[in-house]
Structure 1
Amino acid sequence: MIRAVRTGLVVALAAVSAGCVDTPRTAGGLQLGMNDAPLRAPMRIDSGPPFQFPAGAWQEGLQGTTILRLLISEQGTVDSALVLESSGHPSLDSAALAQALVLRFKPAAQGGDPVRVWGRLPVVFPRRDETESDADTP
């Protein structure tokens, strides 16, 4: 089960690393500067997946994907997180929001200078495999 969560996070974080900026000149409505330098997207630098099922959600066999919008600071911290698309389960959405706030990134940069950007992060809580034992519970 934990492997499935990690796999989902690898795919999700690749989306943040590769395409979290809205346009070359603005990101989430933020002006990125007056130069035409290319924008380098933020990249996750912390280790290990922080997203864990809430205990009750795991017990109930809930699943879903929560799409978050993250504001990543010039220092690489998550300054703000909000739900763009719900998983359909408030407990999963709340867990995704709370745990996203501890992520750390190499900040986005434009012209060599770190910049603040908005990004999208899908957080996947995969379906519990009925053949797994309860010993695999996170």
Structure 2
Amino acid sequence: MPKFPRAARLWPVLALALYGVVQPALTPLRQEPARYAAMKKPDYPPEALLAGIEGKTVLKVLISASGAASRVEVHQSSGHPSLDAAALQSVQQFQFIPAKTDGVAHASWARIPIGFSIESRMALLCPSTWLPWCRAEGAAPTR
């Protein structure tokens, strides 16, 4: 029976060891995007209402692992500072169910559009469930 080099004899053991390391990395992660838990309807600024000003503000929100809006910034302005300020003030008080990866909560970013319409006095463009166009961007933990 021919003798194999030592490396050739260890190859099956090495292959099994690597499989144990690589296999978990190949298993897809179960990811859940952040969702709304509680929202405060923004107040329509009285001066904007009287002036007939309407618009949409898109906010970029960092949702913490505890579900709080830890950082809120204007991603796209409505063009009217009073509408932007009302949207910011309202979303800072929102509560979220944080994004999760394999059941572990982590911080994530989301874009939340808020529209101001005189006809409806206020319209949240994202309903109480997260929609694809609401763009929860929290697939991976923030750095």
Match of 1:91 in 2: 82
Tell me which of the two structures has the higher relative contact order, counting C-alpha pairs closer than 8 angstroms and 6 or more residues apart. 1
Deviations 1:73-110 (Å, cap 9, x if unpaired)? 00100000001111010100011111110000111100
- 2: distance between equivalents of 1:50 and 1:75? 21
Quote the RMSD (CA, aligned, Å).
Answer: 2.3
CA shift at 1:50, angstroms?
2.1
* 2:104 equivalent among 88, 98, 113: 113
Match of 2:67 in 1: 76
| Residue identity in the other structure for 2:34 | P
- 2: distance between equivalents of 1:87 and 1:72? 22
Corresponding position: 1:40 with 2:32 = yes
| DSSP 3-state at the match of 1:37 | coil
Structure (1 or 2) with the larger CA radius of gyration: 2
- 2: distance between equivalents of 1:52 and 1:80? 20
CA shift at 1:60, angstroms?
1.1
**Runs of at least 4 residues off by over 6 Å:** none
| Residue identity in the other structure for 1:122 | P
CA shift at 1:38, angstroms?
2.9
Structure-1-length-normalised TM-score:
0.64
Unaligned runs of 5+ in 1: 1-33
Which aligned pairs between 1:1-138 and structure 2 lie closer than 5 A?
36-46=28-38, 49-126=40-117, 128-129=118-119
Is the 8 Å Cα contact of residues 71 and 80 (structure 1) preserved in structure 2? yes
Identity %: 31
| DSSP 3-state at the match of 1:74 | coil
Aligned pairs, how many? Answer: 97
Unaligned runs of 5+ in 2: 1-24, 122-143
CA shift at 1:36, angstroms?
4.5
